[in-house]
Every structure is written in C-alpha cells, then in structure tokens.
C-alpha cells in the first residue's frame, strides 16, 4: 500500500499558496472522486493540483509541492473511489477518513 508523506513545512505561509521555502502546499479535497476504472497501471494525483484529477498530470513537479503520484496496477475493471483528502489508510482508495476531517475544513 502506498504511503504519502508530505515534507515538513514552515508554520507560516506567505498567503499566496506557497510556503517560505517556495514550495506549493498540497491541495486536499473534502470528498473522493468516483470513477469507472479499467485494468492497467495508474498514477493518481497526490498534490491535488492536477487538471486531470484524479490522475497525475505532473503538476506536483511543476509547482514544487514535494509530493509524488500514487502509482498502482489495477487487475480488475470497476468503480473506484479515489481519495482526495490524502489521509486514507488505504491510498489511493477512499476509506472515509475525509468525513472525520470535514469539520476542520468546512466540507461534508
């Protein structure tokens, strides 16, 4: 199971989405993205900035987020719920953790 660890960041952000070290903060969603998947190798976005969510488009590198995509091989087709809060114990799949974080972020 892939584990995402976000690099340590300074406590004070500059107000433009970047930290004092010039890195872009990851953007965490408040609910998963449901998608009908096909078998094969997939790279799911872990920074939240991809224009092709839930898939990685390389934004993590372009924006210097310190994140890496979650890469996995799917053997079976079917509906998948891809975690967007990036806190699931079963990444890249949603385990409902976002429901415990919603009150902290104003989501549902």
Q: Are 84 and 32 in contact (CB under 8 A)?
A: yes
Cα separation of the two ends of the chain = 26
What's the rounded Cα separation, in Å, for the pair 60 and 47? 6
User: What pLDDT digit, counting tens, does each position of 12-39 carry?
Assistant: 444 455 566 678 888 999 999 999 999 9
What's the rounded Cα separation, in Å, for the pair 95 and 83? 8
3 state DSSP class of 78: strand
User: What pLDDT digit, counting tens, does each position of 33-57 carry?
Assistant: 999 999 999 999 999 999 999 999 9
Domain spans of the chain? 33-105
Report residue 7: phi and psi, to 5°: -65, 150
Tokens matching residue 37: 């998947």
Query: What contacts 55, CB < 8 A, 6 or more positions away?
Result: 42, 43, 44, 45
């Amino acid at each position: 199971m892939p584990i995402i660890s976000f690099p340590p960041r300074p406590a004070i952000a500059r107000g433009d989405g970047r930290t004092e070290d010039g890195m872009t903060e990851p953007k965490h969603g408040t609910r998963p993205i449901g998608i009908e998947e096909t078998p094969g190798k997939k790279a799911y976005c872990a920074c939240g900035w991809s224009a092709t969510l839930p898939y990685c488009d390389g934004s993590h590198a372009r924006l210097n987020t310190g994140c890496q995509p979650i890469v996995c091989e799917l053997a079976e087709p079917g509906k998948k719920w891809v975690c967007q809060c990036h806190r699931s114990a079963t990444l890249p799949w949603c385990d409902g953790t976002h429901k415990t974080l919603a009150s902290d972020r104003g989501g549902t």
